[in-house]
Chains A and B, each alone.
Chain A
Amino acid sequence: ETGVTQSPTHLIKTRGQQVTLRCSSQSGHNTVSWYQQALGQGPQFIFQYYREEENGRGNFPPRFSGLQFPNYSSELNVNALELDDSALYLCASSLDNRDTQYFGPGTRLTVL
């Protein structure tokens, strides 16, 4: 059984650019949640996708958007990057939207 994978591992962007982060869910999981973890903080919920539909959103602006594909993999897109977007972005998958979430290793985004 393959666990949650994320790509890329690290990414450096400049302010104003756009970025796409990718997540492959664990085999059989239909729910993907995205979190932002700033340095020294716990993860903060961005949004969740269940069977390709958005199923909850945290307190993040619309320039944070997402997508889930028929194979349940997912993308997180961030437009108009700001310096404060520098963080570790975590993806978690679960069997359904009420089950234990299993985390990927994260993508470290640095915005200069």
Chain B
Amino acid sequence: AQRVTQPEKLLSVFKGAPVELKCNYSYSGSPELFWYVQYSRQRLQLLLRHISRESIKGFTADLNKGETSFHLKKPFAQEEDSAMYYCALSGQAGTALIFGKGTTLSVSS
């Protein structure tokens, strides 16, 4: 079954602390993995795509095929990182995005 699991519903950290948002997936094949972010009162937007291997707003994510994980990391959290984060995958056909349930990241000073 194709599935994305984000085990944490809420992650609360202090400003300057490291952040790791977990994402595990189940997919028969080689999926493309994404992180989408939704800031308060804004639309869902792409944060990272694993094939681009970019670092956006200080966030990185490494695809671990052995552990079927795509965890999102940032060494030093900022208050403006507070948002809802969704991990998603799509198959090589590139049609449907399958989303996890999301993790709310709350960064406080």
Contacts and interface: CB of A to CB of B under 8 A. Distances in A.
Contacts of B86: 42-43
A33 B43 contact: no
Contacts, number: 53
A14 B43 CA distance: 27
A104 B102 contact: no
Interface string B32-49: 000010000001111001
Interface stretch (B11-19, B57-65, B75-83, B92-100): B92-100
A33 B10 CA distance: 28
A90 B95 contact: no
A55 B99 contact: no
A56 B96 contact: yes
B94 A43 contact: no
